[in-house]
Structure 1
């Protein structure tokens, strides 16, 4: 599983972590358009995207708005459930056929009480989720549409090839027409 390879960048993978992933981890194949997690659900799972492209989105004034994209190697979680035990407003679906490895985060937390390795693993997972969320909030609050597009182009150019332009425009908080103008000016 690629999750162990990915997490090994941050935490030493020992037998306890490997055993946890093997014992409690599961895989799920998603078809294009299939929903992984629905809004108003209480989803205690932590997902690791092995293959494919996912997005989180919500509805506002009858419009489908993309909150985030997730590609191979990303961790995905319903943060409201993990931190507050509340449902989330976002949906997560597959933009292309995808494979996720997942496990119940509550089970990880339960086992952390007896394992320093798993506690460090959990702490690192939460750190990655929080850092990604902070980066997204910063871009929404402090960057122009053009700057957000340039950042996406620099950091994740493959998303521009894999996701429909309407989703990319809503992710950037702009119309498709404005996206076209930005793209032609670069």
Structure 2
């Protein structure tokens, strides 16, 4: 069986990030037909068109990783009703130059966790707007987690609550199905 590769983008820099825990849960409960590769975003400079002639190695590594993946899973917190600058910067680098846009026709699923009642719904809506103009194939539906207790998802991604576990597993299954359908 050939596993489909998924570039995992975790848009939080915190060591104990609830979004990193969520990413690990997605990986743990997704179908075995998927392989998740965590792609680093924190070492790229801010997007600057003056650097296009000689892109930094960190940017080339990032764009090559996205280009090579069968799909992308973006796990993002919500900062001020939007996405973190870290993620926006990565999207900007990946979209330039327009003829080499790594997001065009790329399958992408998004999710996120927040201690707030609406999870990351507004950030995901904003992310959809950004990715739509890049030509990304965004998985429909909202998938966010309201982290009501700090131990809801363990650091290894395990989830004790069966309903939450099934919700995350269904997200992974939908991603696998969309990647397969679009292949």
Q: Which category of TM-score, normalised to the shorter sequence, fits these structures? A: under 0.3
Greater C-alpha radius of gyration? 1
TM-score (structure 1 length as normaliser): 0.25
Higher RCO by CA contacts (8 Å cutoff, separation 6 or greater): 2
Higher strand share: 1
TM-score (structure 2 length as normaliser): 0.26
